[in-house]
Amino acid sequence: MRINIGLKCSECGEINYTTTKNSKTHTEKFETKKFCPRCNKHTLHKEVKLKS
C-alpha cells in the first residue's frame, strides 16, 4: 500500500517535492537533503501528508 507524501523544506516551510512510500514497510518519517529553489540552497526536507 503506497501513499503520496510531500517533502517540505525545514527552513522556509514550502512543499517542493512529492513522492510515494510504502507505509507498511517504512513507518518512520522520511527525511532527505534536497535543493530548495526558494532558499536557493540544499536544505533538509521532511515528510508531510498531502491533501487528497
Read off the pLDDT of residues 27-45 as tens digits, 9 standing for 90 and up: 999 999 999 999 999 999 9
Mean local confidence (pLDDT), 9-30: 95
Q: In what order do the strands lie in the sheet with 31-36?
A: 15-22, 2-9, 41-49, 31-36
| pLDDT value, residue 33 | 97
Would you state the cell numbers that stand for residue 28, as one nine-digit string?
A: 518512520
Are 45 and 36 in contact by the 8 Å Cβ rule? The answer is: yes
pTM > 0.85: yes or no: yes
What CATH number is given for 2-49 in this structure?
2.20.28.120
Would you state the cell numbers that stand for residue 7, as one nine-digit string?
A: 517533502
| pLDDT value, residue 51 | 82
| pLDDT value, residue 36 | 96
Compute the distance between CA of residue 31 and CA of residue 9 in angstroms, rounded to an integer: 10
CA angle, residues 21, 24, 16, in degrees to nearest 5: 20
Mean local confidence (pLDDT), 5-10: 97
